[in-house]
Every structure is written in C-alpha cells, then in structure tokens.
Structure 1
C-alpha cells in the first residue's frame, strides 16, 4: 500500500505506507501528526495553472473529529493572496454551513504546512468525503432522468441550498460534477472553493445605485468565477448574487433531463435561451416552464429565494394534474362550448347568474394554471356585470395570500387584485412586503406610500416601511417610521423590539432599555420576550454593566434557545467576566445556530479571526 508526499516539487512522491518520511525529499508523510495522503483525486501534473491538489487522506482523530476515517484534503500550492483568500473562504463556509449533505470541516481542518528544506507554504483544507459518483459520471452511464426523479433531486438540492443561503453564502459553481449521488440515494453538494459570503459590503458592490439596471452596469472588484454553459451573465461580469445559483441549478437539470451536454444544445439567437424541451418530451409543461424560470437571463426574473422554490415544488404535482386536465379534449371542448352557449342564450339567462358562472370558470382555469383563459372568463363576466369586480379582486387577494412563499406569483396576484379594487389598503401593504422580499425597492416605497395615503393611521404600513429602511441600513428613516407606528399603536411589540435594537446600534442604550422594558410589560409571548430580554442584555453589555447583562441574556436563552445572537452576546459577556470555559461553549452555539442578523455574522467573523490568530501564533 502506498502513501504520497505532500511536497509538490518532490521528484518521487509515491512512498511505502509504513515509513515516516519521504524517501525522495525527506518531508514528513504524517501531516500535523494526523494525516496521511492515500491517493490523489486529481492528476499530479506539473502545471503552473494547477493551483490546487486534492487527495483522499487517512485522518486520525482530533477533538472535533473522533475516530480515524477517510477524508479529502485540498492543498494550495501557491502562497498568493487571492488564492489564499479563496481557500480561507472555503474553510469558513464549511465551518459555518451545517448540513449532513455538505462536507464537514472544522477550525482544526485548515492549516499551513512547510515541506522539509523548503520555503513553500502549503495551505491545507481537510473535509469529509462522500461515497458515490458525481452526476456527470452517473448520467454518462445511465442516461437522462425521469420527471419524478428530477423533482425528487431538485427538492434535495434546493433544501441543501436553502441551508447554504440562510447561512449567508452562495455556491457559485453548481454543476453535475459538483453533485454526488450517495449509496443511500441522497445527493451531496461539494466543492465550495468558489463559495461567496453574502455581506452588506458585497451586496453594495454588485447592486451599485440601489439595484437599478444602471447601477448594475458597472465593474467592481468582485471575484468572477466562470464554468462555461452553467454560469449566468451577471456572474461572468463579477456580479454574482444568490439567484446565480438558481441559474446554474436550472442548467444542471436541463442536462439531467435531456441526457445531452449543454454545449450540444442549440440556443435561441433572439433570447439567448437554451432550446431543450424537444429533447425532453417526457417533461410536462409546468415543470419545463419552472426550469426555464430558474434559468432566466436576469436575476430578478428567477425565483428570489430557496423558500420560494421549495413552495413552488410543493405545488408542482397539482399543477401537472391541472395542466393535463386543462389540455385534455374534454376540458377544451367544455370551455369554448359553454362560452358560446352563454353568448347565444345570455339574454334569457339571469345576468348575475351568467356573470357568476363565468367567474367560477375563470377561477377553475386559474387553478389549472391557464391564466389566459382565466382572464378571458373574468373579462367576459365584468362586461355582463361590473359588480363582480370585487369578488374577482378578493379571489386574487386570497390566492396571493396563499402564495406568500411564491413571491413572483404573490406579486402578480396582488397587482391583479389591486387592478380590480384600487382602494384595498391590505393589498398595497402586502404587495410592498412581497416586493421587499424580491429586492424590488421602487415597488416597495410606491406601494407603502399608496397604502399610507389611503390610510395614514395604519401602524402596519409604517412598520413595513420601517423594516424596509432598516434592511437597507437607513437607520434614521427606519427610526422615524417605527416611532410613527408606535405612536399609532403603543402595543405593537414587534415594532418596539425593532426600534429598541435600532437604538442599540445607534448607541442610544438608555432609550433601548426603556423600550425593551415597555415591551416586556405588554407581551406574554415567549419569543418576543426573549428578543426584548436580549436587547436589554445587549444594551447593558455595551454599558459594561456585566452582571445585569448576564442575567437578562440568560433569561432570553431560557425563553428561546435557538437564537444565535443571544449566545454571541452571552459569550462576550462571559469573556468580559473572565469565564472563558462557558464563553467558548456559547461561542460554539453562536457559530452554528441559524441567524440573518448582520451583527451576528460580524461577531462570528471576529471570533473565527481570533481563533486563527491564536493558532498561527503557537
């Protein structure tokens, strides 16, 4: 049995497995007293552009990984800043993203190593290995996949991506060769070497002037990662966003359902879209349309979040049934026959009855995903009886409300509801909120302003506009809207909590404490209480009143043990009190629990940087 020398400039890297040092160059064959290189997973070519080598390794146990096991180690051969930054980003991503089908890596799995008699600094990253074959290999052996398997695999991958994106990363290199089909039938997503951290600074770079088309047209120093045929235009231009992963995912599934390499599929010269549906006739139109939507040319035309995609996937089986029904001969015959009969006999029928019948037919057509026919029925109903506008408006409002996780659909339905009833304040508020989730900022402000014009004393409208400004980092505008909301409704606890947090970020700790105490007097809901106690503890920590800070934060933890920010603040408080053992336990919880708060990611970055500095100084 052989093992390999880690030194890329060694003349003969193969060695017997039972010796300690390389016979050729003398470099230790046991890296960091724990790792032996068993087999190269890429060809060990003497190529200056081959920056990384990848090995299967035998890894002895550490405090983080108990028990000897086979793993994978990536080795960066060149100590250049940009490449070092890439492998550092990959290490950070694998530490923070916790999912059973993503390679696991810990703080101790990223280190440097210097071969014997060399000045070369090798950066090494160890991660778990998934058994199985990648989908590039699988499809070559098995051919295209069925629609049912495509939906099953798509759901698996989006659930993985959901964890990645909620951890504020995106992958940037999804393709069949980076997806492994394991023996248990589960897919694993690998190779996070190009993963990007989603920070406010990064978003500012790619969004330019507020996310407008003009603002996105510039060039920014954002690392560009390109895999031909899978990479969207915005990523080629160095402006990748989370929706760029969806484009690559859609293209991956085109290859899977056609069994044809993307380079061999034609492209529509007018739209730039792949022409693939005629090569996958077993895929129903709703599924094909959804895959095309994933691959839309512009990020804003794709589903905006993984949650949206998962909700859409839940509805696809019913949409497939509706589509097959709507395209059956019986359904087509009944639709046109009934409309003809109504036009011939409409005079003798009750006008309200005829209009209501057409509305019912429109609702049925919409349920069958036949929007064009639905509009025809609704327009005919309104011509007969304009009073049905309100019922049609309510129908679309209800449909939008049920589609809150399908953001593009919800937006469409709220707009249709407003078209039939432009005095509906709730529709404007809800449309603004959906646009906020879609990052369509002009739509947000326009619709909140319309809602507030119709109902100036709507605390929900001011609260919604405040959260929008808050997310944009416009703290003063957010503060004004929160205060207006509380003035209208002093019992609006979520608003009180948001304003309290905002006061802390602005350094107004006494005001934050007063608001948190006010909120606690008016709510018995545990999660809201936890958020308010967290704010009290945070403010007291900033004032260096450590005993009170610890007391409030421990109360918050008992009420809601899944909030990462509570553990981050507890860790900082215990550090300040000199309780380093308990502090480290809370830092661990801070690192692994889900959070979308920007301050949590700032705290995580700081503690990981401290760990690295401490290790490098040993």
Structure 2
C-alpha cells in the first residue's frame, strides 16, 4: 500500500507499485526517493492537527545511502511559526549526535507541492526508532524498581548531555517521547519544540531591552510543552536547559508510581506532587533527588547534566547509609554515643558551638541579602573562635562557584573569601577568571600577582593569566605565561595546546607542531587529542602541506565532531582539493555551531564575504 501525501486528497490509499495517486494525480514517489507506507497515527483523526507522520520507504541519498524504513513528519500549514519549529527540529537532529536520538541529514528536510495545489508541505525525514514508548510500557508492566529507575535516569541524562552540549534543550520530555528500544536502551524522540540556546534567546528570556513587566521583556517567547510535565518557567515562555530536568523528574514520578500525574495530589503550599507514599520501593535519598529535579525554580535544580551524573554515582552509597541509620542496632548505638558526646561537649566545645551558631546565622542573613547583618555575625564568630574565618572564607568561596548567572556577584563573593582568608591561592585564581570575564584589567593583574606570591607552583594561575593576554592578542605575554605553566606542570595539556595555538598565530609553525605532538603523547582524552590534532592540521595548512593537514583535521573531527574550528579548517582544505560538496557541508557546520575561538570569527567573515561577492542576493545586509 502507498499513501498520497496530499492532505486534501479524498482517497489517499493506493496500490503499492503505481507512480501517481489514482484520485488526485500527486506523485507517490516524493523527491524520487520517498514512498509513504503507512500513517503512524490515523489520518484526519484530529481536524486541528497541523502535522501528519508516516512510516516511509527511503531509497536514500549520497549522504545517507541504502534503502531503509524511516519516518517522515509532514507540516500541512504554512504558518511562519510552525515552519520555524520544523526547521528548528531539522537543525537539532542534524547537530545533536547521539546513537539514541533519531538521525537526519540536510537532504532530509525539503518542501513538496501536490499536483494542482497551492499548498506547500514541509517534510522532515528521520531514522525510525523501533520499540515501545514508556507510557505504553508502564500501562503493561506497572511501576519500576529503584535499580531500574537509576539505570534509566542515567541513560536519559547522558542523552540530554549530548543535547545540551549542542546548545539545545528538548522542552517536551515525557514518557511518550521516550522509547524502550529492542536492544534494551532508551531513546529520546520528538524534537518538534526543541530550542537552541543562543545569545538572542537568552536576551529574550532575560527581558534584555524590553519592559520588565511583560513576559520575556519586549519579546514574546512561545509557550510549549505538555501540561503536568512542563515547569512553571516554561509555561510562562521562559524555558532554560534546567527546564528539561524538571520534566525528567516528573517523568520518573510517573514511572515510579504508575499513576498519571493528574491523579496525584499536590501540596497546596509548595505546589509539589505528593507521590512518595505511592512508591514504597524507593528510599528517601533517591526520592529527595527526584524532588530536587522537580524544584519550582530553575536555580533550585541541578545546574547541569554533569552534576546530575555525579550525584547518581553517589546515590547507591547514600542509600546504604540511609538503610543503616534506620536500623535498630544503629539507633541504640547512636543514643549511647550521643550521651557520651553530650558530656564531652558540655565541657569542651561550648565556645566553638557558639561561634558555629553565629556563622550559621551569618549564612542565613547572607542568603536573605542582609549583607551588613551577615558581616556582624561573622565578625562576632571570629572574635570567639579565630578559626571560624576559614569556615566563612570557604562559605563565600563556594557561593562564588555557584554564582554562574552573575559575574559581579561572583566577584564580590571571591573578594569576601579573600578578606577572611588571604592565603587561599584558589580564591585569587578564581577572582582573576571572573575579573577577566567582566574586563576588569587591574583586578585581573592584581589577583594573579598575589596568587603567584603565595605559591611558586601555581600553574593554573599562569595559565589563566595567559588566556587573558591571549584574548587581548598580546601573544608574547601570553606565551610567557603558558611556558611558565608548562614548566611547573609538564602534564598541563591545556597550556600546551594554547601555546601551540599561539605559535601558529605567530607564524612559528614548526614549534606549534612539536608542541601539539608532545601534547598528543601525554593525553588519552579524546577531546584534548582532537584539539591538538586540529592544531597540527592548522599548522600544516599554513605550511601549504594540504594532504597532511587534511589527514590531521579528519582525525580531529573523528575524535570530537563538535569543535567548530576543525570544521572551518577542513572546509578550507576540502575547497583546495576541489571537494566542493563536502567543503560546503563543513562550512555549514563552521557557521552554525557555537564557538568562542577568535580565529573562527575571522574565518566565518571570510566565507561570508566570498559568498556575498559571488551571490550578493543570498545574504541580506
């Protein structure tokens, strides 16, 4: 059976081997490669649906050869917003690389106009993920055990890590969008509302340049997602990557209880779901972690997939400790120990306890933004116990680490950490990094100079100061600092790489090559090897040794396909060899992926200017 793609056709089923629809005359072989085999949801089931999804037979292209069964989404309406969404879905599937996410190529997104119709259909083809979605699986199998939940959560977070590394977030995680494949692994599907994290988007959700009383400033951000799974900020049109963690947590509430979220009661004060009594197989540490994922505010949730994976490694040990502390033997022993400890504390620790209490009150005042009161508590604690200054310094240092959304606040915290303990080299190093980001040059120099006086083996500080001079294009000064970092720590691959890069910019290609080769021999980390191979390819390119350059750059791409500069350089080499098709694909990756490397912006400007000269109508001013 073949199906007609024309949504206005009144008889869409056709015999398998004919070329045109018997009713409306539309070609049944789309783009000379795609044949619609069957709809994956009933046609015309929902008259308000703007998409149709088919299983298709794809004869393949030069980028994706070989006939195979795949899936095609067809957008029936030409609404600019809907077209933008399906274009964004195509881009996300091309840029996110993970074996458990559907694959799609540049040729898999196209438009098609049926016969005798003014209707333009936007079509997106992707690989088919075989298996059963978790909504269906739970209906058949019931709630999952904690061991299975931990395994599944780890798999999904690893997939999300690839999504977030590509600067996207999914925005519609729920059981029906997670597939349990035939090989037992989970897959994440339906990137129809995925959003790319760009500076424009961040400006929109932060209200940059707009009225702070309106949603998203002067911009309107579309509210998307699924009720009960989408977090409050996403419902308000201001989703962030941590919004995916909320939906993930709520997904596991459903998997652990086998109860629809709408049927679970809600705490009227906090707005949280009351679910733990429906999941007796889950212990408290794991349940606490699920509730942390579903915290009402993004800042209260784990801030990255890396943090979640680290926490998941610790959860089994926390569960063992929890079960131990709940045992009768432990409680009796703890009671006896407490009595002995009370007697000791009464005579030995009253003053330190008073100081500890004052420190805790200072921390609470700081959290409530009562900064003057906090300082008074801290100063009183130090008068009672001078050792408290180390605790206070550590408190401010950790607040500085967490202040990823406000560099000015991070600077204040590191300065306070130094105020209470001016012998901590790491505080000075971190202050130097923050000052570099806010372009406070005197602060950068002063912070690192004080760090160097405290420690002669502070290679991290020399590396940080080197990156500061590097960004200012003061390559001689940057070289001095990188060399000092390497002299202190010959295994400092990050400094070896940056010095190799600086040598290329200075035109000393042979030294750059030697450094890159030295770094490759010292690391087994694929991402570091990739950037060092990129430097080798870059240096060989500048020496006009194009065959060697191509070989090294392809190796760099194989090790880390995400690095933008590798694609830019590979595009140049491919163009020299006349491989214009692959060169254009590499330029596309160079232009579309995120990068902070200054040379990438130069290369992008060069290719855009070349395109402007050859086809000025293709680029708008």
TM-score (norm 1): 0.72
Moved more, 284-293 or 80-89: 80-89
| d(CA) in 1 for partners of 2:510, 2:206 | 38
Cα separation, partners in 2 of 1:424 and 1:287, compared to 1, 3 Å: farther
Whether the 8 Å contact between 2:39 and 2:53 is mirrored in structure 1 is: yes
Query: CA shift at 1:117, angstroms?
Result: 0.9
Query: Which residue number in structure 2 is paired with residue 597 of structure 1?
Result: 595
Whether the 8 Å contact between 2:242 and 2:303 is mirrored in structure 1 is: yes
| d(CA) in 1 for partners of 2:146, 2:587 | 40
| d(CA) in 2 for partners of 1:516, 1:546 | 7
Query: Which residue number in structure 1 is paired with residue 582 of structure 2?
Result: 584
Query: CA shift at 1:588, angstroms?
Result: 5.8
Whether the 8 Å contact between 2:512 and 2:539 is mirrored in structure 1 is: no
Moved more, 40-49 or 8-17: 40-49
Query: Which residue number in structure 2 is paired with residue 236 of structure 1?
Result: 235
User: What is the SS of the residue equivalent to 1:289?
Assistant: helix
Equivalent pairs counted in the alignment come to 548
Whether the 8 Å contact between 1:53 and 1:74 is mirrored in structure 2 is: yes
Query: CA shift at 1:9, angstroms?
Result: 0.5
Query: Which residue number in structure 2 is paired with residue 224 of structure 1?
Result: 223
User: 2:284 matched to 1:252?
Assistant: no
Query: CA shift at 1:194, angstroms?
Result: 0.9
Query: CA shift at 1:56, angstroms?
Result: 1.4
User: 2:60 matched to 1:64?
Assistant: no
Query: CA shift at 1:23, angstroms?
Result: 1.7
User: 2:25 matched to 1:5?
Assistant: no
Cα separation, partners in 2 of 1:557 and 1:29, compared to 1, 3 Å: closer
| d(CA) in 1 for partners of 2:425, 2:507 | 31
1:172-251 pair list within 5 angstroms: 172-208=171-207, 218=217, 220-251=219-250
1:294-344 Cα distance to aligned partner (Å, 9 max, x none): 111121221111122112111111111112122323333333422321333
Query: CA shift at 1:105, angstroms?
Result: 1.4
Query: Which residue number in structure 1 is paired with residue 451 of structure 2?
Result: 455
Whether the 8 Å contact between 2:204 and 2:216 is mirrored in structure 1 is: no
User: 2:591 matched to 1:562?
Assistant: no
Between 1 and 2, higher relative CO (CA 8 Å, sep ≥ 6) is seen in: 1
Whether the 8 Å contact between 2:564 and 2:594 is mirrored in structure 1 is: no
Query: CA shift at 1:549, angstroms?
Result: 8.1
Query: Which residue number in structure 1 is paired with residue 296 of structure 2?
Result: 297
| d(CA) in 1 for partners of 2:229, 2:465 | 37
| d(CA) in 2 for partners of 1:238, 1:465 | 40
- Which structure 1 segments of 5+ residues have no match? 356-381, 471-475, 504-509
Cα separation, partners in 2 of 1:531 and 1:539, compared to 1, 3 Å: same
Moved more, 491-500 or 293-302: 491-500
User: What is the SS of the residue equivalent to 1:222?
Assistant: coil
Query: CA shift at 1:157, angstroms?
Result: 0.9
User: 2:113 matched to 1:114?
Assistant: yes
Query: CA shift at 1:237, angstroms?
Result: 2.2
User: 2:519 matched to 1:525?
Assistant: yes
1:220-263 Cα distance to aligned partner (Å, 9 max, x none): 34333131111112222222211111111011111111111111
Whether the 8 Å contact between 1:516 and 1:535 is mirrored in structure 2 is: no
Whether the 8 Å contact between 2:463 and 2:482 is mirrored in structure 1 is: no
- Which structure 2 segments of 5+ residues have no match? 353-380, 487-493
Whether the 8 Å contact between 1:496 and 1:515 is mirrored in structure 2 is: no
Cα separation, partners in 2 of 1:99 and 1:149, compared to 1, 3 Å: same
1:532-547 pair list within 5 angstroms: 534=534, 547=544
User: What is the SS of the residue equivalent to 2:5?
Assistant: coil
Moved more, 228-237 or 63-72: 63-72
Query: CA shift at 1:68, angstroms?
Result: 2.8
CA RMSD of the aligned region, Å? Answer: 5.2
User: What is the SS of the residue equivalent to 2:36?
Assistant: strand
User: 2:511 matched to 1:512?
Assistant: no
| d(CA) in 2 for partners of 1:68, 1:485 | 54
TM-score (norm 2): 0.72
